Amino acid sequence: MELFALDLGNIQTKIKSSKLEKVLPSKFAYYEDLGNQSTSISKSNLDIKEYKVNFDDDFTYAWGSDINKAKVKRFTDTIAFENRYSTPNFKLLANFAIGELAKDFPEAKDNILNVNIVTGVPTDEFNERSVMSIMKVLKGDHNITIDSIPMVIRVNEVKVLPQPVGTVYNEFLDSEGYIEHEEYENETVSVVDCGGGTILIDTLNNMNLAETGRTQEEEGAHSLYDSIIAECSKNEISLTKNDIEKILREQEDKYFFKPNKNESYEITKIVNKGIKKYTNNLLNIVDSTLKGTSHIDTLFFTGGGANIINQKQVLNRYVRAIFIKDSETANVNGFYKFGLATIESDQIEKQ
């Protein structure tokens, strides 16, 4: 039995198994929209694969870590703030993610690969309806073809956690699922998860979720992208969310938009102003949610957005704040470690 961990975010999808850890955009395209690739004399080095699923025979899809670099007019986005786990696009994304992890295991191609999955949802969505919706998508048999190679994956068990618990377990447990920092068991820990679609704040007392010190705001990194795009538009610079996301990921200190190899527009002032305003808004959300931080033993900042905000502003406000290393994958690593710890606990009970 293999263990898969999935963090199917609005902007980025993070996946992990014993053989692979990967971050991919939470969007895809119709494979036919890539154009006729037979005219190319060399194979593209972009990480984009062709996916087909048994419940949607009409189309094949293009997905991979480099999908944002594909020259297509329109991507299929999976961002949603209501009933996301019931949408067809989320179901496709989840199957692509399962297939991407399964392709490294010969059993998936030769027979049936049996797996258990650990995933998470925002705390406000940690209810029977959302949990049942995501379990319906993930549990059972998945017939997925990647680059003409068919696979069968059987998901036997799905465990759904409140999303911020992933970060805490990532810090609490070591890489094999054993307790590494037992002090968190006796602390009040707050997690500020800056995601692509949302800002999530949750508090745990003695590793148990508290009813207070929590919120979910639809002001993730996408709202920062929107503000930068709007300011650039005032300066007659037209770019997209994909452009901004790429700029913020690949550049620092100074920011340039290069629509082609011949043109370049410096947008450093616009980006820095947007980041400063976004960070101020984040700090206001943290203050109003936690009602002060003097009672917090540990304050984690995590999520892909934690790499974008002005960390100096945050540390000036909260001296005990900790920015998680590799924050974008902290949740999925925590889900995976939780799965390992659960396996170990089950084995002990059976002895």
Is the model's pLDDT at 351 over the cut of 90? no
Q: How far apart are CA 75 and CA 48, in angstroms?
A: 13
pTM of the model as a whole: 0.89
What tokens does 74 get? Answer: 């329109």
What local confidence, expressed as pLDDT, does residue 242 receive?
85
Instruction: Read off the pLDDT band of 344 (50, 70, 90).
Output: low
Nearest to 122 by CA among 188, 185, 197, 189: 197
What local confidence, expressed as pLDDT, does residue 44 receive?
65
Q: How far apart are CA 28 and CA 13, in angstroms?
A: 11
Sign of CA dihedral 233, 238, 242, 247: negative
Residues 257-307: tens digit of each pLDDT: 999 999 999 999 999 999 999 999 999 999 999 998 889 999 999 998 999
Sign of CA dihedral 11, 55, 15, 252: negative
User: What radius of gyration, in Å, describes the C-alpha atoms of the chain?
Assistant: 21
Nearest to 193 by CA among 25, 351, 12: 12
Contacts of 134 (CB under 8 A, 6+ apart): 85, 119, 121, 158, 160
The CATH architecture to which 2-37+44-165+333-350 belongs is 2-Layer Sandwich (3.30)
What local confidence, expressed as pLDDT, does residue 349 receive?
47
Contacts of 171 (CB under 8 A, 6+ apart): 181, 184, 300, 324, 330, 334
Residues 39-62: tens digit of each pLDDT: 444 456 789 999 999 999 899 999
Is the model's pLDDT at 320 over the cut of 50? yes
Task: Count Cβ neighbours within 10 Å for each residue of 167-201 and write b for 16 or more, e otherwise.
Answer: bbbbbbbeeebeeeeeebeebbbbbbbbbbbbbbb
Is the model's pLDDT at 141 over the cut of 70? yes
What local confidence, expressed as pLDDT, does residue 80 receive?
76
Is the model's pLDDT at 200 over the cut of 50? yes
Q: Could you tell me if 2 and 114 are in contact, meaning their C-beta atoms sit under 8 angstroms apart?
A: yes
Q: Could you tell me if 187 and 166 are in contact, meaning their C-beta atoms sit under 8 angstroms apart?
A: no
Q: Could you tell me if 55 and 40 are in contact, meaning their C-beta atoms sit under 8 angstroms apart?
A: no
Q: How far apart are CA 62 and CA 53, in angstroms?
A: 12
What tokens does 236 get? Answer: 């007659």
